[in-house]
Amino acid sequence: MKKLSFFLLLLFSTVINSQESKVIEAEVKVHGNCGQCKSRIENALKIKEVKFARWDRKTKILKVVFDSSKISLDSLMHRVAIAGHDNEKFKADDSVYKKLPKCCLYRDSSNTH
């Protein structure tokens, strides 16, 4: 009985450990120009799996802290691309990009602030 109890305890603790969150921080280059871009990028990541997301307009670096046991960095960057912003992992669809406000059109070098 002791062996069975020990085995069950070991199995239970393994299951709990595998379900623990794995919070990691990443920095990714994300293209954008202005405050509207910042809001759009950060809002794309306002989901429960993301603990923190801040995009810096000057450096074009997005710092994101997320639970990697529930979502991948690729999935997060795909969300940013869907919102219209090219990044290290994905390019925004041209049709979405063209609908951004003129000040946000970062692919045209004359629109950089």
Q: What is the DSSP letter of 63?
A: E
Residue 8 in tokens = 């069950």
Q: What is the CATH number of domain 26-111?
A: 3.30.70.100
What pLDDT was estimated at residue 13?
44
Q: What is the DSSP letter of 87?
A: B
| 46/2 Cα distance (integer angstroms) | 47
Q: In which residue ranges of the chain is pLDDT below 50?
A: 4, 6-18, 112
For residue 105, what pLDDT is reported? 97
Instruction: Fill in the amino acid letter for 33.
Output: N
* CA distance linking residue 85 with residue 22, whole number of Å: 26
pLDDT at 34: 97
Q: What is the pLDDT of residue 8?
A: 41
